[in-house]
């Protein structure tokens, strides 16, 4: 079951500048910085009530965020939903015809197991499903 919006991912060209902007906007300092080499991304997390804001900067041009920034302007890159049972949600959505971008959950940033759904399945929005990391 989907429980809440866990975070909104925002792709930015300059992480340092964007961090200052969001620090001022949210009036809070980031609680975490993490690089996920496999995804070619550096992330900065801000607490935002029940949800979080994740700033995403590319560490490689050929990474998903690098490609996104080369094709589109910076902005909202994905919405992440927190689920209580990732495997069950994956099976449910696959049966419903959604395109999952990996067969198994992967280790994501901020201690989460994650799976993405292709934006074409969701009317142009890249969706992430996540749960607290249980493996890896």
* Residues near ligand CMX (CB under 6 A): 9, 36, 39, 41, 43, 54, 56, 64-65, 67-68, 71, 77-78, 101, 108-109, 116, 118-119, 124, 126
Neighbours of 17 (CB within 10 A): 10
In sequence order, what are the beta bridge partners of 5? 81
Q: Which is nearer to ligand CMX, 64 or 105 (CB)?
A: 64
- Tell me whether residue 86 or residue 126 sits nearer to ligand CMX (CB atom): 126
What distance separates the 2 farthest-apart alpha carbons in the chain?
43
C-beta closer to ligand CMX: residue 41 or 44: 41
Question: What letter would DSSP give residue 126?
Answer: -
Minimum CB distance to ligand CMX, residue 2 (Å): 17
The answer to whether residues 56 and 10 touch, using CB atoms and an 8 Å cutoff, is: yes
Closest distance to ligand CMX from the beta carbon of 57 (Å): 11
At closest approach, how far in Å is the CB of 77 from ligand CMX?
5
> Nearest CA to 126 among 97, 94, 101?
101
């Amino acid at each position: 079951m989907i429980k809440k919006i866990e975070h909104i991912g925002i792709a930015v060209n300059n992480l340092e500048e964007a961090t200052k902007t969001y620090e001022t906007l949210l009036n809070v300092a980031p609680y975490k910085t993490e690089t996920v080499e496999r995804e070619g991304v550096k992330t900065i997390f801000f607490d935002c009530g029940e949800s979080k804001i994740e700033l995403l900067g590319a560490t490689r041009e050929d990474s998903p965020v690098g490609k996104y920034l080369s094709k589109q302007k910076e902005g909202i890159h994905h919405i992440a939903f927190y689920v209580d049972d990732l495997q069950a949600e994956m099976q449910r959505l696959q049966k419903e015809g959604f395109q999952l971008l990996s067969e198994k959950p992967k280790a994501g940033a901020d201690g989460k197991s994650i799976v993405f759904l292709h934006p074409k399945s969701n009317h142009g929005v890249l969706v992430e499903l996540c749960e607290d990391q249980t493996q890896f």
